[in-house]
Structure 1
Amino acid sequence: MMHKTDCELVHDYIKGKESALEALLHRHKIRVFNYINRKVNNPELAEDLFQDVFIKVILTLKEGKYNEEGKFLPWVLRISHNLIVDHFRISNKAKFVNETSSQNEDYNVFDFVKVSEHSIEDLMINDQIVSDLKKLVETLPEDQREVLELRFYKGLSFKEIAEETNVGINTALGRMRYAIINLRKIIELKNIAFL
């Protein structure tokens, strides 16, 4: 299978040949991981982002939304870049308060405090979306729900999830993939719109 082009492997995978994705992953994993790691300079974070990249690749291929024939690696690197940007955007938003102290002070001084830019209405809508999403997550099979909750609510890496649930990392990734696919099916079936 190593002699096939990326394009041929993508088509094989879309037709249901799971080993084609493994071949693509094997062919490009070092380059993609190194690209991510150079940007984030943190191997553990790079591993998490790498796994997120391939979940996005899998979902896009399964949904039939991939249309960049012959440009698989640049497409994966663009997904990687976007997820890296998203990660830093989210982590910067999470740093609401930066504390500093000098030798002459007995207490910390807040450099700045982020004031919420959202109205009460926005916050209420967001709370409702979170509530609705939690109800949808509860409808998933237990193994899928567990992986999704550990990843998104507890922020565990897939390596940590695999250890916590006593399964292999590929099984954890697969469960996440099916959880997301099933959530999308439920959302489409019930015609739910998340802003």
Structure 2
Amino acid sequence: MERTDEELIREYLAGDGAAYTALFHRHKGRIFNFALRMLANRAEAEDVTQETFIRLFEKRYQETQQAKLSTWLFTVARNASLTRLRSRKLLQPLWFKRSVTGELEEWDIPDTADPPSGVLQQKELTRRIRQAIAALPEDQREALILREYEKKDYAEIAQILGCALSKVKIDIFRGREALRANLTAFLKEDRP
């Protein structure tokens, strides 16, 4: 039977290094994918993932924390990502799709000399989605990433972002509305 995060954290805090390794392998993919969406840079996402787990290794998470371990990890990763974004003054994430295995990968759009119109439309739609997401205010963008791609519930998103539940709901609603308006306009442009 698989041990829970709570059991593993207790074992790690008691000195069991294997418990830390199990926690790392359980959460590293989701933390990396979140950082990759925030930063749009694989190397920086790897660094943020490493920083997040170094903080766990340094035993900064205690089992008396109010938040679940996964919430705490996402909060640490978010803060590290925001620090990097602010330092480079670029708040434009790229969008990736999730593969069958759950890993993130770039959109697979074939590069051909004479591409069919469907491929060109998909490429343009992908570009528009990236632009629409990049244009969202930071709060809306973060809340949408956590809800739609990390499948977090509203309460956990509020904990990760350090804001009220009502603000999370409003940010997600407004973000979806902005994306819908932006993409609807694009789709209407495209029709004869």
**TM-score for both structures, normalised by structure 1:** 0.42
Structure number with bigger Rg: 1
